[in-house]
Chain A
Amino acid sequence: MIHLTNINKTYQGKQPLHVLKGIDLHIQKGEFVAIMGASGSGKSTLLNILGILDNYDEGEYILDGTLIKNLSENKGAYYRNRLIGFVFQSFNLISFKDAQENVALPLFYQGVSRKKRNQMALEYLDKVGLKDWAHHYPNEMSGGQKQRVAIARALITHPSIILADEPTGALDSKTTIEVMDLLRELHRQGMTIVMVTHENDVAHCAEKIVHIKDGQIESIEIVNDTNE
């Protein structure tokens, strides 16, 4: 599903910063991978490159059979829309849209009719258990609810992968469990998930933990299934 070969990334500036130094990583379909590392280790940059939100200087990134390199703005937008579902630490919901409209937004950019996408949005809100909250605005919901809305939004386009950047970073322990249960459920249904986190508990929900240090993969840890 994801094949990274020798990915290098340097931030240009007064003092160029070499953040990724030759990352090689292969993630199979249906895997649930956590990326861990200290801040500044390059884990977020790696996730941004996986999400086509940022570009890389060297190497090769193949996502679901497509080479992602030097894409035009519009091509990038197209692949983000079709292949990737994002879950962010700060939810990134649009504040003046209610839950249903937020979930439906990716379909707007696919040209799906308003009626169809609202109906689908309701369906996906139901999947994350928020059907009754469809017409609530983000500021009327708890962090956990917001993150579930964001997950519904990530799922609505049937993406190839879900990329989660510190999905529990802004949540308390109770809602963290809620959200992680949902991600695990998605994993069980066969979804490929890549998640960045610095919380050990959260990382251990995944099957595989990739430890990154100073822009390189330090180790890959296989998590025992007994974690439940």
Chain B
Amino acid sequence: MFLDLFLEVWDAIKRNKLRAAATGFAVTSGIFLLIVLLGAGNGLIHTLEANSGEMDLDAVSIDPGWTSEAFGGYEQGRHIELDDTDGELSIAIDPNRVLSYHTEFNKSVTITTDNNKTLGTTLKGGTPYMFQSNKDKVIAGRLLNQRDLDEKRRVAVIAAPIAERLFGKDAEVVSRYLKIDGSMYQIVGVLYVKDNTSRNAETVFVPQTTLRLVYHLGNKADEIMLRTQGLARVEVFEVFEKVLRKALAIKHVFSPEDQRAVWISGGGAQAETMDDAFSAIRSSFWFLGILTLLSGITGVSNIMLISVRERTHEFGIRKALGARSWHIIIMVILESVLITTVFGYIGMTGGIAFCEYMNAAIGSSTLDIGEAQIEYFQDPTVGLDICIEATLVMIMAGAVAGFIPARKATKIKPIEALQAR
């Protein structure tokens, strides 16, 4: 029965190929444009994300400074020194917002390789969390892990530009040794940096615990990084900053109004504007996409409306010969769904193919600005789930577009339908 019905519908479609093709074109272009638009929007968003700095947007940094006013018996110009206890203090004053901290320490050092090349560079104490929040990647070997820290291992991760300068381009450097200020370290990984101007492009990382041990640093820190949540809104961040500054001021004895004694900065404000920008991009592309989808749906509805009106006489004949209402409704819906499915699928495949083409052709193009590079169109693709959902929406709309006029047509008395011309 179903096959029979299908063949009936196929007859009707074959009879009017041009109309089916016109409807199909509306559907295909609707789906195609939706997917391409969303792909382009995603490309823009991914680009913004990729270019939005190298720091987690939920990180807050505390940097030591010099007091700018006399306070509590101390003269101005005193250096404030930070250590792990300041990180613990930060967690203590707002445990709901400050999840964890890590400290950073930089040291200028001279390194010597096993082939006797020397280079002055910056040594940093690394932690797994630091790498994670910086979204760091290696191009060879591995990053530092918790066991390196626990066992205070003499291991190092070096930035790619340094590896190149010390050992030459494309040299195998993992497992080789470095002498840093007289101590030997084994290289375990090479850090990926985007270009020579990036942060950490000139840095060698050793486990933080090792660094502190070797240089007798105790628990001192050059910078404290806080991992936070719920600080994306500027107003919230400002209050948090004030409270934290006050707590630090009491501990280190400086004026709570002193903006230069410690520097507290967070990605919060940036995160907020970025979020706003993303959602603006996303919603405007969705808006355009849904409009194109709607124009496709309108196209289908329109054609089905005309088609049903044109076929009223035929439906009259069919009813006179014994067709029931559902025969006719199912036939029209099937016709509509068949057209939207076939052409929706074509549009979906085309849209995905076009996105992949964009991705391949200009997907990771970069724009040179002096020494740095900006990626301007990254990964302009759409998830398959969204593509399929859009096509399903179209098919369902096609079913409705068929159902409504068909039901109306079956309400006409057979004799009136027969007289229709």
Contacts and interface: CB of A to CB of B under 8 A. Distances in A.
A137 to B, nearest CB: 10
B188 to A, nearest CB: 73
A54 B323 CA distance: 15
B15 A53 contact: no
Interface string B295-313: 0000000000000000001
Interface in A109-156: 109-111, 114, 153
A172 B302 CA distance: 41
A99 interface: no
Chain B interface mostly = helix
Among A77, A93, A109, find the residue whose CB has the most chain B CB atoms closer than 10 A.
Answer: A77
A25 B294 CA distance: 57
B324 A53 contact: no
A7 B11 CA distance: 41
A106 interface: yes
What interface size band does chain B fall in?
A: 20 to 34
Interface string B10-27: 011011000000000000
Contacts of B327: 109
A51 B1 CA distance: 27
Given A54-B413, A73-B325, A94-B314, A108 B8 contact: yes
Interface string B365-377: 0000000000000
Given A74-B324, A77-B323, A92-B418, A105 B318 contact: yes
A82 B322 CA distance: 8
B415 A80 contact: no
B324 A51 contact: no
Interface in A8-46: none
A48 B320 CA distance: 10
B321 A105 contact: yes
Given A48-B415, A96-B11, A114 B4 contact: yes
B317 A77 contact: no
Given A96-B11, A114-B7, A73 B320 contact: no
Nearest to A156: B321
Nearest to B317: A92
A228 to B, nearest CB: 32
B321 A153 contact: yes
A92 B414 CA distance: 13
A61 interface: no
Interface of B: 1, 4, 7-8, 11-12, 14-15, 313-314, 316-325, 327, 410, 413-415, 418
Given A48-B415, A108-B8, 10 more contacts: A53-B415, A74-B325, A77-B319, A81-B321, A94-B317, A96-B14, A106-B322, A109-B321, A114-B7, A153-B321
Interface of A: 48, 51, 53-54, 73-74, 76-78, 80-82, 86, 88, 92-97, 101, 105-106, 108-111, 114, 153, 157
20 contacts: A53-B413, A53-B414, A53-B415, A53-B418, A80-B321, A80-B322, A80-B414, A86-B321, A92-B313, A92-B317, A92-B320, A93-B317, A96-B11, A96-B12, A96-B14, A106-B321, A108-B4, A109-B318, A111-B1, A114-B7
